[in-house]
Structure 1
Amino acid sequence: MKKILVGAIGAVALSLSAPASAADLAARPYVKAPPPAIAAVYDWSGFYIGINGGGGSAHKCWDFVDSTGVPGSLVGEGCHNATGGTVGGQIGYRWQSGQWVFGAEGQGNWADFRGDNTSAVFPTDRNRSRIDAFGLITGQVGYAWNNVLFYVKGGAAVVGDKYDFFDIPTGALLASANETRWGGTVGAGLEFGFAPNWSVGVEYNHLFLGHRTIGFTTPGGIAAGSDRISQDVDMGLVRLNYRWGGPLIAKY
């Protein structure tokens, strides 16, 4: 009987003490779920304008047009590379669809590409070539990895050429000519967006300018024969662009 009484008293005490222990527990705080992460995606769409600079080399071969009366007769005078620097600007527009980027661009540059060689036909003469300007009108197709863009380009090219030949012993100018020559161009570039509207890149271009027969005149305006001159140009450029348009898209 004594054991039963003690057990009953213990059960009553436990039941009375349970609510007090629950009341002593602190309420669990409410924690708001964090917002979903937002990733900034670079958008290449919009108009842009920029500057560029670099260097190039024009490979030119001269063939003297034989005046012996044989039609189409050519005598090779030799080849040389006209090398130098260039600086200019570009303006264009790009639009982006997914990771693909399409664009059109016009570019104009001043240049100072020069080179010469001794004529194989006239050993006392030296032939000299110069490019003092060029322009490119191209379309672009590119693929973007967020703020990194790789693209290829192609279109039309135009260059301003000057030619002369001079006497080696005296250095006197014997005859000269100039032309504006049209051709084609292909190239590729890699561009990096380092700020919302700014990008920097490198670009390579090859110009196909074919060959053309050029008539020379002396300083006194007298005709001095003709040469068929062929040329191709390779050049590398560093470019800096500023773009108008929405630079970033919020992606959840």
Structure 2
Amino acid sequence: MTRLVLRALALIAAVWTTSAAAADLNYGSPYTVPQPLNAYSWAGPYLGGNIGYGWGSVANNPTKPSGFAGGVQAGYNFQNGTPWVFGIEADIQASAADDTFAPWKFSNPWFGTLRGRVGYAFNNVLFYGTGGLAFGELRGETFGVSESHTNAGWTVGVGAEMGFAPNWSAKIEYLYVDLANSNFALTGGAANGYSFGLVRAGVNYHF
């Protein structure tokens, strides 16, 4: 009886191991670069969407615009058989961030980024840092008069991404964004710019 039980347990273990290996082989994006047979591949292009919340302040003005933001992102990852992942990502966002203080109202209707990414993967979980160019609009209003400036600045951040189904991943990310100052006539020629933190979650489809 003991031998029969041991043989049954060995057979179950063998079937479990084979099933797990098969699941690993079919999990994740296509193997576009050399990878260990049981490893998740982050390599290749992807496209996705995100939603989050931003909060910040306007330079040389008491307003502190905050609000929800959402948009789309696209990128490409490079991975050559190691846990290190290198990539580039661009996104464009619509933003509801605004604030009013005394006669001034400032808002950030939209912004975008173009960033490099460097990460380390634990199979289907990727931790990464990111940084690069940021750009967006800062709009000021007072007494019925509005003025807008579109500036380029910089951004840095960190994030984590997890593959949860074939070709699909989910991510959470923090970015600090600094849009350069420009002189606004409606604030008496002061140099006003918008800097803010952004926490967002998103999903990506990997081709």
What's the TM-score bracket when you normalise by the shorter of the two chains? 0.7 to 0.9
Aligned to 1:104: 88
Deviations 1:170-193 (A, max 9, x none): xxx2x3210101100001110010
In the aligned structure 2, how far is the partner of 1:194 from the partner of 1:235? 24
Task: Write out aligned runs for 1:34-45 (5 A).
Answer: 38=21, 40-45=38-43
In the aligned structure 2, how far is the partner of 1:88 from the partner of 1:232? 19
Aligned to 2:51: 53
TM-score after normalising by structure 1 = 0.65
Which of 198, 204, 212 is residue 182 of structure 2 equivalent to? 212
Aligned to 2:172: 202
Which structure has greater strand proportion? 1
In the aligned structure 2, how far is the partner of 1:225 from the partner of 1:190? 43
Deviations 1:226-252 (A, max 9, x none): 2321331111110100001xxxxxxxx
In the TM superposition, residue 211 of structure 1 has moved relative to its aligned partner by: 2.2
- Structure 2 residue identity aligned to 1:139: G
Structure 2 residue 128 is matched with structure 1 residue 158: no
TM-score after normalising by structure 2 = 0.79
Which of 243, 248, 252 is residue 206 of structure 2 equivalent to? 243
Which of 80, 102, 112 is residue 63 of structure 2 equivalent to? 80
**Which ranges of structure 1 fall in alignment gaps of 5 or more residues?**
1-33, 63-77, 119-125, 167-172, 217-223, 245-252
Which of 101, 104, 110 is residue 127 of structure 1 equivalent to? 104
> Quick one: percent identity of the two aligned structures?
33
Which of 156, 165, 189 is residue 226 of structure 1 equivalent to? 189
Task: Write out aligned runs for 1:160-199 (5 A).
Answer: 160-166=137-143, 173=144, 175-199=145-169
Structure 2 residue 136 is matched with structure 1 residue 140: no
Which structure has greater helix proportion? 2
CA RMSD of aligned residues (A): 1.9
Which of 96, 100, 105 is residue 116 of structure 1 equivalent to? 100
In the aligned structure 2, how far is the partner of 1:110 from the partner of 1:209? 15
In the TM superposition, residue 116 of structure 1 has moved relative to its aligned partner by: 1.9
Deviations 1:131-151 (A, max 9, x none): 010010000000000000001
Contact 2:138 2:194 survives alignment (8 Å): no
Q: How many residues align?
A: 175
